[in-house]
Amino acid sequence: MYLIALIVTLIIMMLAVFGSGLFYVFDSLSLIVVFGVSIALLLVTGLWRDFKRSVRIMFIKKNPYNLHELYRAKLSVTAFQALLLTSGLYGTVLGLIALLQGNQRPNIFLPSVSVSLITLFYSLTAIIILMPIRFKIKSLIIDLEHKND
């Protein structure tokens, strides 16, 4: 069900973007800044294995994990969302600084601003995609806590 909802959400987002053209939304450097920095920092925190577990949780019907594993999975998703937001903002600020330092012509200025904002768009999109994972983990935690009462 999550996979279907994810695909529908991505299709709706792409249809909304098609009005201005799909290639305006694709920027490989922004993808590297957002996901490369976020994944590298998640690896440094030691939560990568827990993050992979949290993604697997979305596709299971019966919960085989204990409360401690679920808390770590929730922590990894929350940390990854924070890292995504931070790296997206960082990339946007860097892009705007580089844009404002350069002596660009006014007709190039607005497209350059949109390119600098794409990093923020990527990070917010990834955060939205991760929200259902975090909510499912939280519901599993609540179920386990009430089961133990």
Q: Report how far residue 102's alpha carbon sits from residue 14's, in angstroms, rounded to the nearest whole number.
A: 31
pLDDT given at position 54: 93
80, 102 Cβ separation under 8 angstroms? no
CA distances (Å), origin 77, targets 28, 57, 58, 100, 111:
24, 12, 12, 34, 33
Are 65 and 73 in contact, with CB atoms under 8 Å apart? yes
Q: Mean pLDDT, 10 residues at a time, over the chain (149 residues)? A: 66 61 70 89 93 91 90 96 94 84 67 80 91 93 86
CB hemisphere CA count around 120 (13 angstroms): 12
Tokens (6 digits) for 134 = 């975090």
**∠ CA 40-43-46 to the nearest 5 degrees?**
155
Alpha-helical regions (H) of the chain: 2-17, 28-31, 37-45, 48-57, 67-101, 106-148
CA dist 147 → 52, 61, 88 (Å): 25, 17, 39
Q: What is the pLDDT of residue 148?
A: 77
pLDDT (0 to 100) of residue 48 = 94
Residue 105's pLDDT is 66
| Residue that is written with structure tokens 């892009």 in the block | 95
The overall pTM is greater than 0.85 = no
What pLDDT shows up at residue 111?
A: 67
